[in-house]
A = this chain, B = another copy of it.
């Protein structure tokens, strides 16, 4: 048997074995940047470059590969589950009737404010379609669609040490055609909410109803009238339990491993200790109790999964605030020309992505350099030591605010009031404690960019069954 050699090695030696003449690129001086994914992170990076161009920066050659047919990543809703039209795992985890689960003031683009987008104050917790429009509108304004190759899946990324560049092999998902290109920089922006973590429990094989991961959850109305078991104790479990009940589930039982979420749930939602096994359609829990249920939703999280990145370049991490090996949360320490965007456990979302994107852009433009590996490791270690002291959601928000400040201090992203967003997050956490089914009804959050105050929504979230942008943006006094 041949000694084991991985695909990465092979590709690297293929590249190094090539005659020099076969690997020319453009005029030989413009660096090439591969961006993997045209979701919020990828779009933020492209936007960052076009903003720099406005003030005269000479841009590298930007190539963004997107396996879907449209942009916005998981915000690009699909009814599909399982495999997509090309036979790949469906990327999206988005469900119908998703409304923002944190105030929009905490994720406002400082360079494209809600005032600019809506031209009027709007409530703080918009549904998916509204946020999708917001993301896409900024992208359209930046004229960045031209950089994106849609229906193009990245199959393999490897590094050639001799040339100090990357080979990126992509497939046209509908043509089945492969090609490989070389790049000076690679930015992985493919997200970490697409590959579900799916545990097994005894008895699942004989359970007569549907068992699904939250990744495949699409429309709560499917579960109207049913008794639902939700496995998990984080955002997905919290929101899908509420959703299901709101849209008519007969009951929702949430089973947790370590600790209950402990919210003051509406009638018909309750938490029990961990599922031990299922017998027929009866779920048994570790406290000896049991419930007969119609369907089981595994809200058991996602995996950072990059099967298209060669071993030695691959980020391996759980979903935490400050992953190992990423300087500033972005730069791959062994080779900072490889960057990862948005890989943190997220409180700040769009704004954190922007902060990371602006920083990555400046590095690629040569405005910043990476310090020595030793120094990067020291910096990461200090953040990770601090991470150890995080013991509440409030702490976690504060930690991420500091991380974002650290990035923003050094880039020309428009200023906004980070302290205010931190306070908003704290209010949000308190609102959830007060009323988990009603926290989205709180208003009066002020924009950290413009100071605009969010009004009441015309309908309390629990009663707002229509999640369209039209319904959300309609005006009117709040009905109770």
Contact = CB atoms under 8 A, between A and B. Distances in A.
Interface string A430-474: 000000000000000000000000000000000000000000000
A26 B1 contact: yes
Nearest to A216: B82
A105 to B, nearest CB: 29
A208 B222 contact: yes
Interface stretch (A173-181, A327-335, A378-386): A173-181
Contacts of A138: none
Contact of A198 (B85, B211, B212): B85
Number of this chain's copies in the assembly equals 2
Nearest to A77: B205
Contacts of A96: 208
Nearest to A307: B87
B204 A222 contact: no
Interface in A187-219: 195-196, 198, 200, 204-205, 207-213, 215-216, 218-219
Nearest to A211: B79
* Interface residue range, chain A: 35 or more
A25 B2 CA distance: 5
A184 to B, nearest CB: 12
Interface in A6-28: 6-15, 17-18, 22-26
Contact of A204 (B79, B210, B211): B79
A177 B8 CA distance: 11
Given A17-B17, A209-B222, A210-B210, A5 B180 contact: yes
6 contacts: A2-B23, A2-B25, A7-B180, A82-B212, A88-B89, A211-B218
Interface of A: 1-15, 17-18, 22-26, 32, 77-85, 87-90, 96, 155-156, 167, 169, 171, 176-182, 195-196, 198, 200, 204-205, 207-213, 215-216, 218-219, 221-222, 295, 303, 305, 307, 310-311, 314, 316
